Amino acid sequence: MHFPRTSRREALSLGGKLASALALANCTSHEGQGQKLARHSQALVRTMDLSGTVLLARGENVEFSDSFGLADRDSGERNTIDTKFNLASIPKMFTATCILQLVEAGAISLDDTVGMHLPDYPGRDAAERATIAHLLMHRSGIGNYWQGLAELDGPHPESHRDYLPLFANIPLEHEPGSAFSYSNGGYVVLGLIIEAVTGKSYYEHVQQAIFERAGMANTGNWRLDADVSNRAIPYMRSEETPGEWVDCSSRLEPRGSAGGGAYSTARDLHHFATALTRNRLLSRQMTQVLLQGRSQTPVGSYGYGVIEQDLNGVRLLGHSGGHYGVACELMMFPEIDTTFIVLTNGDVDAYWDIEAFVHELVAGPTDETRNYRFTQDLIDFAALNGVEASMACARTEADGRKTREGMMDLAAFRNIHRRQNTVGIDLLRLNSALHPNSDYAIYRLAEGLRVTGQTASALTMYRRYLERVPDDAEAKARIDELAQD
């Protein structure tokens, strides 16, 4: 990206801010991928508050692994290679593997309907028309349970069956098999099918069928209130109190399910990837059935609990996971026998950066990583040159690339968190200008102005937002709150 030349003073300032990243870009060719990953990860501790563990392996041999940041900010306990992180949606791979083991054993068929194994399932349309294959591929039409959890007046679900009232009676989002619609509810149903067929709880079965067979001694579906050693607490930057980090544990589900939420270490996930790709959990033929994309989505081809992507001809298999204070991914590159794992317990920006870095490290630049780098370059340029100059650069340098709205928003609040308010507000103004049709960008600018004490400007932006979204109760409450100050 060829931005206008800055002054020597500005260039030195930029160099000081991004020294590690620039050094990485100029790595000599003899440096191994593990060394490059080490340099880049270390830089992210400073630039994006990286907190977590990264691991790069060739086959069964770990080429690089390291841990950064704190597992517990109150006690000062640091993350280590043995720290257990919440996996969010990565365990969908465990559930899918269990299902295909049962298929291979002849206990079920991918074409079986929900009702064949759960005759009392409340949603009759799903029971009669949604198949196990549909559930695995998020094509069943069964919805999610997040709204039900948010409105829950009482204890959280203790078992998979306890989830059913939260989503099972909601009409199907589409005819089974006709469309892709990501569904945690669908994976809860898969957990119930596993329980019905095996006569065991999902937790007992996945422990025996996956964790024990793959040598995953530090993986489990422990409750949040259980006394588990070396478990990372999920954190996000506080947007209300710059400089502070918020413990997000209360926003997680009390226990994982077939849809996600188990805890594991980077080494254990490497054990899983090795066992899976070396046909230790399934036969070679059934492993190939599992590791195949089947349904196109914006982020790749979703198969049976596995996402397949083509990065410049390099095949990537795996799954990511995200929740409040949780961002993680298992990446497997089977043709080059390479596995990469990132587990974090902080905000998502460092994870985004590592994901883009690894994609380029393995396969070279892609459209996705070019958009990421373009946005990051623009963020860095705006920090030195302000909104107008950055808009001019964005118009002249875009060349088909797109800025990532969420990425710039998070960078803005990262700067506000560090009390670099001018840079933060400039980035929010730039984001709104780059995405003029985004109501969200206007609202977030209003939020940034409010948090940094710019009340009059914040009120103006909240009112502008309400012109577009007149029924937003939260925005109205913000105006009332500011009017009383």
**With 80 as the cut, is the pLDDT of residue 191 above it?**
yes
Residue 391 lies in a domain: yes
Alpha carbon distance 141, 182 (integer Å) = 9
357 and 449 co-located in one domain: no
204 and 145 co-located in one domain: yes
**With 60 as the cut, is the pLDDT of residue 122 above it?**
yes
Question: Residue 224 is part of a domain; what is its CATH number?
Answer: 3.40.710.10
Domain termination residue (choose one: 328, 363, 398) = 363
Residue 442 pLDDT grade (very low, low, confident, very high; cuts 50, 70, 90): very high
312 and 437 co-located in one domain: no
199 and 348 co-located in one domain: yes
Domain, as residue range, for 280 = 92-363
Cα-flanking dihedrals φ and ψ of residue 330, to 5°?
A: -110, 120
> pLDDT by residue (tens digit) across 244-274?
999 999 999 999 999 999 999 999 999 999 9
Residue with the two structure tokens 């929740």 = 323
> Is 235 in contact with 219 (CB distance < 8 Å)?
no
The separation between CA 408 and the C-alpha centre of its own chain, rounded to angstroms, equals 17
Nearest alpha-carbon partner for 188 in 239, 149, 155 = 149
Summarize the confidence of residues 145-167 as an average pLDDT: 88
> Is 134 in contact with 179 (CB distance < 8 Å)?
no
| Dihedral angle over CA of 462, 464, 466, 468, nearest 10 | -140
Which segments of 319-400 does DSSP mark as H helices, in order?
A: 349-363, 367-397
Summarize the confidence of residues 185-205 as an average pLDDT: 98
The predicted structure's pLDDT at residue 154: 76
417 and 465 co-located in one domain: yes
Residue 48 pLDDT grade (very low, low, confident, very high; cuts 50, 70, 90): very high
The predicted structure's pLDDT at residue 164: 96
Residue 66: Cβ within 10 Å count: 18
> Is 68 in contact with 50 (CB distance < 8 Å)?
yes
**With 90 as the cut, is the pLDDT of residue 120 above it?**
yes
**With 90 as the cut, is the pLDDT of residue 378 above it?**
yes
Q: Which two tokens stand for residue 421?
A: 């308010």
> Is 107 in contact with 154 (CB distance < 8 Å)?
no
The predicted structure's pLDDT at residue 11: 31
**With 90 as the cut, is the pLDDT of residue 18 above it?**
no
**With 60 as the cut, is the pLDDT of residue 470 above it?**
yes
381 and 329 co-located in one domain: no
Q: Per the structure, how many domains does the chain have?
A: 2
Residue 80 lies in a domain: no
Alpha carbon distance 423, 385 (integer Å) = 10
358 and 382 co-located in one domain: no
**With 50 as the cut, is the pLDDT of residue 346 above it?**
yes
**With 80 as the cut, is the pLDDT of residue 7 above it?**
no
The predicted structure's pLDDT at residue 333: 98
**With 50 as the cut, is the pLDDT of residue 19 above it?**
no
**With 70 as the cut, is the pLDDT of residue 301 above it?**
yes
Instruction: Give SS3 for 143.
Output: coil
169 and 284 co-located in one domain: yes
**With 50 as the cut, is the pLDDT of residue 24 above it?**
no
Residue 49 lies in a domain: no
Summarize the confidence of residues 129-154 as an average pLDDT: 92
The predicted structure's pLDDT at residue 22: 34
Residue 82 lies in a domain: no
> Is 270 in contact with 215 (CB distance < 8 Å)?
no
The predicted structure's pLDDT at residue 147: 84
The predicted structure's pLDDT at residue 341: 99
Lowest mean pLDDT among 9-23, 292-306, 432-446: 9-23
Lowest mean pLDDT among 38-52, 329-343, 395-409, 466-480: 395-409
Q: Which two tokens stand for residue 262?
A: 């188990």
Nearest alpha-carbon partner for 301 in 292, 310, 290, 293 = 293
- Exposed e or buried b for every residue in 87-117, given b needs 16+ CB within 10 A? bbbbbbbbbbbbbbbbbbeeebebebbbbbb
Q: Which two tokens stand for residue 146?
A: 């997040």
Question: Residue 471 is part of a domain; what is its CATH number?
Answer: 1.25.40.10
The predicted structure's pLDDT at residue 146: 85
399 and 345 co-located in one domain: no
Q: Which long-range contacts (CB under 8 A, 24 or more apart) does 18-27 make?
A: 18/47, 18/380, 19/43, 20/46, 20/47, 21/47
Residue 338 lies in a domain: yes
The predicted structure's pLDDT at residue 296: 92
Alpha carbon distance 257, 221 (integer Å) = 7
Q: Using alpha carbons only, how large is the chain's radius of gyration in Å?
A: 23
**With 90 as the cut, is the pLDDT of residue 463 above it?**
yes
Q: Which two tokens stand for residue 53?
A: 């563990």
> Is 431 in contact with 395 (CB distance < 8 Å)?
no
Alpha carbon distance 442, 461 (integer Å) = 7
Residue 68 pLDDT grade (very low, low, confident, very high; cuts 50, 70, 90): very high
Q: What is the mean pLDDT of the chain?
A: 93
Domain termination residue (choose one: 314, 345, 363) = 363
127 and 261 co-located in one domain: yes
Summarize the confidence of residues 174-200 as an average pLDDT: 98
268 and 284 co-located in one domain: yes
Domain termination residue (choose one: 363, 386, 410) = 363
Summarize the confidence of residues 102-121 as an average pLDDT: 98
Summarize the confidence of residues 384-402 as an average pLDDT: 87
Residues of the chain above pLDDT 70, percent? 94
Residue 344 lies in a domain: yes
Nearest alpha-carbon partner for 407 in 471, 468, 355, 469 = 355
Residue 20 pLDDT grade (very low, low, confident, very high; cuts 50, 70, 90): very low
Residue 193: Cβ within 10 Å count: 27
Q: Which two tokens stand for residue 471?
A: 């029924």
274 and 405 co-located in one domain: no
Half-sphere exposure of 88 (CA within 13 A, CB side): 19
Residues of the chain above pLDDT 90, percent? 88
Summarize the confidence of residues 268-282 as an average pLDDT: 99
Instruction: Give SS3 for 179.
Output: coil
Query: What angle (nearest 5°) sits at the alpha carbon of residue 329, between those of residues 328 and 331?
Result: 160
Q: Which two tokens stand for residue 120?
A: 């009392």
